Structure 1
Amino acid sequence: MGGRRREGRLAGVFRGARGRVELVGVEIEVGVVDPRTGVSRPYAGERGVAALLELIARRWPGTAVVEEGSILGFRRDDGAEIMLESGCALEYGSPPAVGLVALVRRVRADLADLAALAHELDLALLSGALLPYDPSGHRTWAPKPQIPLMLDFFRAEFGTRSTGWAAMSRILSVQTTLDYTDTADRDAKHRTANLVSPLVAALFVNSPVWEGALTERLSHRLHVWAGVDARRTGYLPHALGDPLDLDKFLDAITGLAPIFRKIAGKAAPVPPGRSFRYFLDHGYGDGSYPTEEDWTALLSTLWPFVRLRRTLELRVADGPGHADWPAIPALWTGLLYDEASRAEAADLMRDTGRAELDALTAAVAEAGPAASFGGTPLRTRCADLVRIAKEGLARQVVQGLEDERALAFLEPVEAVAATGVPPAARLAEAWPARYAHDPATYVADHRYR
């Protein structure tokens, strides 16, 4: 990038592809666990995650992702990806699809195939929002050079208070990827998605268990994210702008310290205590300056609930059970791909600032839709949000943009809106008698198949 800031090149990643058709994709994180103990499996070994990736590479058409002799993922010829997460979970990334029904059909078939391959190795692919049976001290790290650099950063910045290690190794989610067609469309979708993220989180809370025991909260996953690094997670500065002030947005991001840089494609340490902006202006001290690969590396160490790139990646929801994941892309598609729904959804949270969103999300982690907002239970606004999404999706059906069968994907969140009972409450009720001492039953009930 040279020795001076080049805002145009930095901002290019936030500009998308003008006029792009509004496609939908998902990224589904799955735990790779022993089917009897529910404990996550290590990378190496006869029943390790590397063995599963190697089996996938033999059975699917495409290309294995290999770095320094270690298999880290697989790219199928049609664009689907299986990538190794830091803690040896796997992330399935779908090819973008025209419409929810086509997406769900393809992803369900792929997940069933992946689950069958895992079964051949006596492994299970676990749905949900975290790995509930991993005991204290259990770590299964992938062979990626950035992992020790990230762990060192969290320890140096936050000491024993840091939950960065847990975010890297214990939690799971289902993320939705949506398009924007121009700058104005980007800004409206980005702002609305940030504003309603606490409501979406409340509908999907699903992680009341940690290290084999019930906690006092409904989303331990959100609690983990809150302890990582407030500068990099949750709601980023200036994310509520419509229009988005891209200069201020970039200033906030480049003001962060990079956790690692890339040298010859490999993660490497960075001189500590300096911002990315400093390195843009002054270099790393060895005659080199940040590259586009370094900029991408910095962006990869931001984990907001709404991740803006050339698409919008929507990340707030806890991972649901294996049958209910289509509710997440269906909800977001109904909310953001219909202009009237987008405006009405944003109006539900009008005049809500970043600090209020942070506080509300923390309350949602504890109480889900029973959290209080403005003196009333959040459940009422959650119900309004589901109605708005369904109406938006129905209008897309009328316009020929969606198949009518997509409306059924919203049934899990319609049930939460009607009863006020989120998935975490059902899991907490079942835990003592059914799952606390029987991980095999939990895995059987929650594995992809």
Structure 2
Amino acid sequence: MAYNDEAEPVQTFSDLVGYFAAGEKPRERWRIGAEHEKFAFRLTDLSRPAYQDPDGIQAMLKGMMRFGWEGVYEGETLIALSRNGASVSLEPGGQFELSGAPLETVHDICEETGQHLEEVKVVADELGLGFVGVGFSPLWTREQTPVMPKGRYAIMRAYMPKVGNLGLDMMLRTCTVQANLDYASEADMVQKFRVSLALQPIATALFANSPFTEGKPNGFVSARANVWTDTDHDRTGMLDFVFDDDFGYERYARYALDVPMYFVKREHYIDASGQDFKAYMKGELPARPGHRPTMDDWADHLTTLFPEVRLKKYLEMRGADAGPWSRLCALPALWGGLLYDQTALDAAWDLVKGWTTDDHNKLRAMAARTGLKGDIAGRPVKDWAMDVLNIAKAGLRNRNRLSGGMVDETGYLGELFEIAASGLTPADRLLEKYHGVWQGDIRRLYADEAY
């Protein structure tokens, strides 16, 4: 993104609110964007490669450019790739991320993801690297994790320990899979936000896949989800106000304004950590006295909020651990089925509208620790999950988006139905292997679970 101090500064709070309204799209223009992260490791010793190593992350990026990806640079540093509306980017600890293009169907997403993983494998094989999809780095400590040379990450690394105990783990040792979806109006956004926020812990449980830390069980099925409970309370969590009667674009904008800043980006990143965007609007930001923000600054600030569901010009579903190739298409299928068919969306809201604030927060904590085990609002979590999947399946059937083989999108939910029926998360299955055939050797995970 190009930044220009000659751009029109934000004039009023209404301008900030209008940013979200500008994201509205009619149903025929709705798309789904899918993202997933994965850990790179050396096949020889399982260590995570640094950026500038001959077999490192920079070499991966350069190797991918043979497939038509164009480089994205910060100064002279290659930090990402772009192609046809998609990007490959770096998370702080070198996690390799595909941010897919906005696509019409889950079939399209699966094709895009498959092509990406094939390309990654070609380059990784040449470099002696492998990739694994789990929610939390299963073996390496923070100190053994490489740090990527990206300006915003340096600012975040310095700030995180001031506001929470696990923020550096979030940056360096977590991987997620995410789905991004559109809305037609403010009312549509509100309903989708409420449904997806209430059900985000169900997704956390279904995708829970991070039971190991530094080679041993950590007491969670999703250590990634637990990390977010002690990262930075100003910018994370379940956003109880979303369920208030007055929720809408304006309320979310007020929440975002109250979240301390990280940075301002111009020709480089300017450290504004802990400073106030409201002061910036008055020209009183200590990091840039006399300057006021542009709409690009507002868009940047919104990316530094990390609730379980995030609003930009679309809604981001942020509650799931990374996993194997077989589950990467399941997340966009789940949320597409729930949110893109009105009958399914209404049914999902009917399912959760009686949940209390305590229910939401209790379920979030339970999902990280026990997954599908336990009860919420008087029923087993696994039963709620099965209800959610049935609603999503009906929504996908109603969408009726067919592949070239005339198959709808419901098949992508198959593995999730198996998980819900068993009551055992992917993490539970990994723990069974750890205590069984792996005989306590976490290194076996890298062989069994690699792409």
Task: Give the TM-score taking structure 1 as reference length.
Answer: 0.92
Check if 1:74 corresponds to 2:77. Answer: no
Query: Among residues 359, 362, 380, which one is paired with 1:359 in the alignment?
Result: 362
Change (3 A) 1:117 1:210: same
C-alpha change, 1:14 and 1:369, in structure 2 (3 Å) is: farther
Q: Look up the SS of the partner of 2:198 in the other structure.
A: helix
Partner of residue 103, structure 1: 109
Describe how 1:237-256 pairs up with structure 2 within 5 A.
238-241=241-244, 244-256=247-259
Specify which of 233, 241, 257 is matched with residue 260 of structure 2: 257
- In the TM superposition, 1:273-292 aligns within 5 A as 274-285=275-286, 286-292=289-295
Q: How far apart are the structure 2 equivalents of 1:154 and 1:138?
A: 18
Instruction: State the alpha-carbon separation in 2 of the partners of residues 395 and 4 from structure 1.
Output: 44
Q: Distance in 2 between matches of 1:403 and 1:308?
A: 34
Flag as ranges the 4+ runs of structure 1 deviating above 6 A: 398-402
For this pair of structures, how many residues does the alignment match? 441
What aligned pairs does 1:36-435 form with structure 2 within 5 A after superposition? 36-57=44-65, 59-76=66-83, 78-135=84-141, 137-158=143-164, 162-236=165-239, 238-241=241-244, 244-264=247-267, 266-270=268-272, 274-285=275-286, 286-397=289-400, 404-435=407-438
Instruction: Rate the CA distance shift 1:94–1:235 in 2: closer, same or farther, 3 A.
Output: same
CA RMSD between the two structures: 2.4
Task: Determine the C-alpha separation between the residues in 1 that align with 2:93 and 2:438.
Answer: 23
Q: Is the 8 A contact 1:191 1:242 kept in 2?
A: no
Residues 71 and 243 of structure 1, relative CA distance in 2, 3 Å threshold: same
Q: Shift of the alpha carbon at 1:36?
A: 3.9
Q: Which amino acid aligns with 1:64?
A: G
Unaligned runs of 5+ residues in structure 1 are none
- 1:100-153: per-residue Cα shift (whole Å, max 9, x none)? 112212211221221221111101121121221113522311101222221222
TM-score in terms of structure 2 length: 0.91
Q: Partner of 1:345: helix, strand, or coil?
A: helix
* Distance apart, 1:156 and its partner CA: 2.3
Q: Residues 173 and 14 from structure 1, CA distance in 2 versus in 1: closer, same or farther, beyond 3 angstroms?
A: farther
State the Cα deviation string for residues 159-182 of structure 1 (Å, max 9, x = none): xxx211111111111111222223
d(CA) in 1 for partners of 2:44, 2:446: 8
Question: Contact 1:11–1:250 at 8 Å: present in 2 too?
Answer: no
Alpha-carbon shift at residue 352 of structure 1 (Å): 2.6
Question: Secondary structure of 1:404's partner?
Answer: coil
Helix, strand or coil: the match of 1:344? helix
Aligned-residue sequence identity (percent) comes to 27
- For residues 41 and 384 of structure 1, do their structure 2 counterparts lie closer, same or farther at Cα, with a shift above 3 Å needed? same
Q: For residues 302-328 of structure 1, give each alpha carbon's deviation from its aligned partner in whole angstroms, at most 9, with x where no partner exists.
A: 112211111221110111222222111
Is contact 2:396-2:408 (8 Å) kept?
A: no
- SS of residue in 2 equivalent to 1:320: coil
- Does the 8 Å CA contact 2:72/2:79 hold for their aligned counterparts? yes
The answer to whether the 8 Å contact 2:61/2:81 transfers is yes
Distance of aligned partners of 1:273 and 1:408 in 2 relative to their CA distance in 1, 3 Å threshold: closer
Letter in 1 for 2:45: T
Within the alignment, does 1:33 sit opposite 2:41 as a pair? Answer: yes
Match of 2:326, SS state, is: coil
Secondary structure at the residue paired with 1:315?
A: strand
Q: CA–CA distance in 2 between the matches of 1:290 and 1:379? A: 46
| 1:403/1:221 CA distance change after superposition, 3 Å | farther
Deviation, structure 1 residue 244:
3.4
Moved more, 353-362 or 420-429: 353-362
AA of the residue aligned to 1:48: G
CA distance in 1, matches of 2:25, 2:159: 37
Q: Is the 8 A contact 1:334 1:389 kept in 2?
A: yes
